[in-house]
Chain A
Amino acid sequence: MKFPSTLTITLVFSAALFAANAPNPPEKIADVETIVNKANVVAYYQGKDGKAKVKMTITDKKGRTRLHEFIILRKDIKDGGDQKYYVYFLKPADVRKMVFMVHKHTDIKKDDDRWLYLPGLDLVRRIAASDKRTSFVGSDFLYEDVSGRNFQEDVHELIETTDEYYVVKNVPKKPDSVEFSYFNVSIDRKTFVPMKMEFYDKKNKLYRIIESKTVETIQEFPTVVKSVVSDLNTGSKTEMEFSNVKYDINLKDIFTERYLRRPPREAMR
C-alpha cells in the first residue's frame, strides 16, 4: 500500500463530510456557481473541525477484499479554503500507527504539503506533491475524491434540475491533466449533498461512479456516512463507512511534527 500520496485524505474527509450545512428551502437557484460552491462547503467543510473513524473495504472483481481502518481529523483554516488533515492508521496490521498528514491549499498555484510518519523508524518523511488522481492506499478512491477536487479546475454547467437534484456537468479546464473528459454531479436540492458523481472517459463512456449511499444528520450537519466508488473498467469497488463522526470538537493545532511523532489522544481513541 502506498501511503499517500496525498489527496486521499482529503477525499476521505470530504466524503465523510459530504454533509450539508444549509438546509435551505429549495428556492430557485439559477446560478450554477452558487450551487457548486454550496455543495463544496457542504461536502468538505462542515463545522470548523471534525473527526471520524473510517472503514474502507476494497473488493476486486473476483470478490477478494482488503480492509483499511483509520481515524481522520480535520480542521478548516477557512470555510471553502485551506484545511489540515491528520490520518491515523489502525488497519491493516503492517501500517498500524502510521500517520499521514496534509496541509491542503486551495490556491491553485500551491501544492499541498504532506507528511508521513513511520513509527518503526521514528521517521518523519515529506511526501512529494503527487498526482492527485492516484489511488488512496490502493483503493478505488483517489486522493482528489477524498480531499475534494478544486472546483476552480472545472467549467460548470447546470444541465438538469429534477425534483430532487441539480445535475451539474463539470468539464476540466486542462483536459490533459486528468483521465476523464467530464463528470456529472447530482446535488441534493435540499441539503446540497453531492449524491452521485459519474465520470466519463475520453470516449465519453461512463467508467466510474461515486455514490453517497447513506446520509445522516449529525449535529445538524447532513453527513454521508456510507459511500461507494465503482470502477466499471476493472470491476473493483470500494466502500467507505464513517462512524463516530463528530463536528466542532475544538481541535487544537495538532497538525505539526510534534503530533506526528506522538499521536494526540483524539486520534488514537
Chain B
Amino acid sequence: MIYSKRLIAFVAVLVATSSLPAVAQEETTNDFKAFLSNLDVHGFYEIRSGYRTRKDKYEKDMSIMEQRLQLDLSSYLDWADFEVKSDIIGDLVEEQADFDLREAHVFTSPLEFMDLKVGRQILTWGTGDLVFINDLFPKDWQSFFIGRDTEYLKAPSDAAKISLFSDLANLDIVYTPKFDPDRFISGQRISYWNSNLGRLAGRDAIQRTAKPDRWFRDDEIAARLYKNINNYEYAFYTYHGYWKSPGGQNTAKTLAIFPDLNVYGASVRGNVGKGIGNLEFGYYDSHDDQSGKNGNINNSELRFLVGYTKEVGKDFTAGLQYYVEHMLDYSRHKNSAPSGLTRDRDRHLITVRLTKLLMNQNLRCSLFTYLSPSDKDTYMRPNINYKVNDNLAVEAGANIFFGDYPSTFFGQFQNNTNIYTALRYSF
C-alpha cells in the first residue's frame, strides 16, 4: 500500500514537472538543456548493522542490517528549483530491496511575498528537540528506534506548502490531500505492548490499521503564523487532521484507527541569558471523543514544553527539556477504559542532550536521554560519529530502553535495546 502510494506520488511529480514548461516546444527544449546543465548530483552510500542486546522472542536478533544508496538530484530553471532525493535500500532484516522516495518537489516564488513548494517534502516546525507538539508532520519512529540516522525520524509528506510573508507576520499553510500517518511502531521491527493481548507482541501480531485514505476527503491542513520580534520567534499553530500514530481502535478491537484530531498551539524561542530558551504548548482536541467517554479513543490533551540549551564548555553543549501531557477528561477515560489500561493523568518527561566535539570537531560524542518520572521509564541514545576524511564517516551508537512496567511508552520497548555501527561515504 505504502509503495503504490509512493509510486503514484512520484509519477505525479514527474508528470507535473515535465509537463509544466511544455508551453512551446522550443522553450521546452531550452529549458530542458538548462535543466540538465544545472543538474547537481550528490548523495551517500551507507552500510548499517545492529543487534538486539537482549533476546526478544517476537523479533529477529538483527535490529538493523542494511545498505543504502541515497541519490540527491537538484536543478533549477529561472522560475523554479527542483529536487528529487531517493533511497535504494537492501534490507537484510526484511529480506527485501526497498525504494524510499524522500523528496520530489518543485519550489517557486510566484510573487515577491509568496513561496510555494509542491510535492514530496520533509517538513518541520516547532521548538522542541526530538519532542514534537505542533509539528504534526509524519515521523518514522521505527527508523528512530532501530538506529538509522536521525534524519530518518522525519518521514516525507506529499503536500503543498504555501508561505506568505509580510511585515506584520508570516503565514505557512501546508495542505496534504491524503492523510500521511507516522511510520509508527506496528510490531514489524520493534516489539510493543499490545493491550488487547495484554502482553508484549511483535511479528506475531503486527498491528492492522484502518487508515483514512481518500484523496481530498481524508486530508490534513496545518498552518503556522509566525513573527520574529527582536530575535524572539513567536508562532501560533493549528492542525486539522488525524492522530498521526494510531489513537484508538474500532469497537470490535480488530483494527487500530486514526481518530480525528485538531490541534491549536503556540511557541516562543529566543536568547535567555547565555543560552537559548523555548516554550511551546498545544491543545489536542481528540475530535471523535470530545466528551472523553470513549475508552477506545485517545483522550483530549494539553501538551506543554519548556527547554533550555547552553554551551557549557568548549565545544560542549547541554540541552534540557521538560514536557508534560495532561489528559483533559481523565475520570471519564478511566471509567470507560478497560481495566488495567489506564495510565496516569499526566505523563511527565525530561530530556537531556549532551554533545561534545573533539579532535578538531571531527569526533562527535552525544547522548540524548528521555526520562519519564511518571511512567518510570527511560530511553537513551548514545552516539559517536567520527569523520575519517571529507567523505567517509564511521559511527556507533545504541538505543537503550528500560522501565518498571511493560506497558509504558518507553518501557514496552525494553527488549528492543540495540547497538549499531555504520559507515557512510558521502559524495
Give chain A's interface residues, CB within 8 Å of chain B.
1-2, 5, 58, 60, 64, 66-67, 91-94, 96, 103, 111, 113, 120-124, 126-131, 134-135, 137-139, 236, 256-258, 262
21 contacts between A and B (CB under 8 A): A2-B364, A64-B389, A92-B391, A93-B390, A94-B387, A120-B151, A120-B154, A122-B124, A124-B124, A126-B269, A126-B276, A128-B309, A129-B275, A129-B311, A134-B315, A135-B360, A135-B361, A138-B360, A139-B360, A257-B228, A262-B81
Stretch from B4-12, B89-97, B115-123, B249-257 contacting the other chain: B115-123
Residues of B within 8 A of A96 (CB): 42
- B272-291 CB contacts (< 8 Å) to partner A: 274-276, 278
Q: Contact between B426 and A1 (Cβ–Cβ < 8 Å)?
A: no
Residues of A within 8 A of B25 (CB): none
Q: Contact between A113 and B315 (Cβ–Cβ < 8 Å)?
A: no
Q: Contact between A1 and B427 (Cβ–Cβ < 8 Å)?
A: no
The residue among A91, A111, A121 with the most chain B CB atoms within 10 A of its own CB is A121
Closest Cβ of chain B: how far from A207's Cβ, in Å? 17
Q: Contact between A128 and B310 (Cβ–Cβ < 8 Å)?
A: yes
Closest Cβ of chain B: how far from A2's Cβ, in Å? 4
Residues of B within 8 A of A66 (CB): 362, 389-390
Closest B residue, CB atoms, query A6 = B311
Closest Cβ of chain B: how far from A266's Cβ, in Å? 13
| Bound: A91/B426 CA distance, A | 10
* Known contacts A121-B124, A126-B269, A258-B170: A93-B361 contact under CB 8 Å: no
Give chain B's interface residues, CB within 8 Å of chain A.
42, 44, 81, 107, 115, 117, 121-124, 150-151, 153-154, 163, 165, 170, 226, 228, 231, 233, 269-271, 274-276, 278, 309-311, 314-315, 317, 357, 360-362, 364, 387, 389-391, 393, 424, 426-427
| One of A2, A94, A130 near B361 (C-beta < 8 A) | A2
Closest A residue, CB atoms, query B271 = A111
| Bound: A50/B154 CA distance, A | 36
| One of B150, B231, B393 near A113 (C-beta < 8 A) | B231
| One of A128, A131, A138 near B276 (C-beta < 8 A) | A128
Closest Cβ of chain A: how far from B123's Cβ, in Å? 6
Residues of B within 8 A of A256 (CB): 228
| One of A5, A93, A121 near B427 (C-beta < 8 A) | A93
Known: A58-B360, A134-B314. 14 other contacts (CB 8 A): A2-B357, A66-B362, A92-B426, A94-B387, A103-B231, A111-B274, A113-B231, A121-B153, A122-B122, A127-B276, A130-B311, A138-B360, A138-B362, A258-B163
| One of A91, A121, A126, A138 near B122 (C-beta < 8 A) | A121
Q: Contact between A93 and B391 (Cβ–Cβ < 8 Å)?
A: yes
What is the interface of chain A mostly: helix, strand, loop, or mixed?
loop
Residues of B within 8 A of A2 (CB): 315, 357, 361, 364
Q: Contact between A67 and B310 (Cβ–Cβ < 8 Å)?
A: no
Residues of A within 8 A of B151 (CB): 120-121
Q: Contact between B107 and A67 (Cβ–Cβ < 8 Å)?
A: no
Q: Contact between B124 and A113 (Cβ–Cβ < 8 Å)?
A: no
Closest Cβ of chain B: how far from A164's Cβ, in Å? 34
* Known contacts A2-B357, A138-B362, A258-B165: A94-B276 contact under CB 8 Å: no
* Known contacts A67-B390, A113-B231, A126-B276: A131-B271 contact under CB 8 Å: no
Residues of B within 8 A of A92 (CB): 390-391, 426
Residues of B within 8 A of A60 (CB): 360
| Bound: A128/B274 CA distance, A | 7
Closest Cβ of chain A: how far from B304's Cβ, in Å? 20
Closest Cβ of chain A: how far from B363's Cβ, in Å? 10
| Bound: A127/B278 CA distance, A | 12
Closest Cβ of chain A: how far from B144's Cβ, in Å? 12
| Bound: A25/B364 CA distance, A | 51
Residues of A within 8 A of B357 (CB): 2
Residues of B within 8 A of A120 (CB): 122, 151, 154
Q: Contact between A128 and B314 (Cβ–Cβ < 8 Å)?
A: no
Closest Cβ of chain A: how far from B424's Cβ, in Å? 8
| Bound: A105/B169 CA distance, A | 24
Closest B residue, CB atoms, query A91 = B390
| Bound: A177/B191 CA distance, A | 51
* Known contacts A94-B426, A128-B310, A129-B271: A121-B231 contact under CB 8 Å: no
Closest Cβ of chain A: how far from B350's Cβ, in Å? 19
| Bound: A96/B426 CA distance, A | 10
Q: Contact between B311 and A137 (Cβ–Cβ < 8 Å)?
A: no
| One of B150, B274, B309, B424 near A121 (C-beta < 8 A) | B150
The 3 closest A-B pairs by CB, nearest first: A138-B361, A93-B426, A130-B311
Closest B residue, CB atoms, query A265 = B76
| Bound: A123/B233 CA distance, A | 14
* Known contacts A1-B361, A128-B276: A93-B315 contact under CB 8 Å: no
Q: Contact between A1 and B387 (Cβ–Cβ < 8 Å)?
A: yes
Residues of A within 8 A of B163 (CB): 258
Closest Cβ of chain A: how far from B306's Cβ, in Å? 15
Closest Cβ of chain A: how far from B382's Cβ, in Å? 18
* Known contacts A2-B315, A94-B426, A128-B310: A262-B115 contact under CB 8 Å: yes
Closest Cβ of chain B: how far from A48's Cβ, in Å? 21
Closest A residue, CB atoms, query B393 = A94
| Bound: A1/B317 CA distance, A | 14
Closest A residue, CB atoms, query B150 = A121
Closest B residue, CB atoms, query A93 = B426
Residues of B within 8 A of A126 (CB): 233, 269-270, 276, 278, 309
Residues of A within 8 A of B124 (CB): 121-124
* Known contacts A1-B387, A93-B427, A121-B124: A128-B275 contact under CB 8 Å: yes
| Bound: A153/B249 CA distance, A | 64
Q: Contact between B276 and A121 (Cβ–Cβ < 8 Å)?
A: no
Closest Cβ of chain A: how far from B389's Cβ, in Å? 7
* Known contacts A1-B387, A126-B276, A138-B362: A93-B44 contact under CB 8 Å: yes
Closest A residue, CB atoms, query B74 = A97
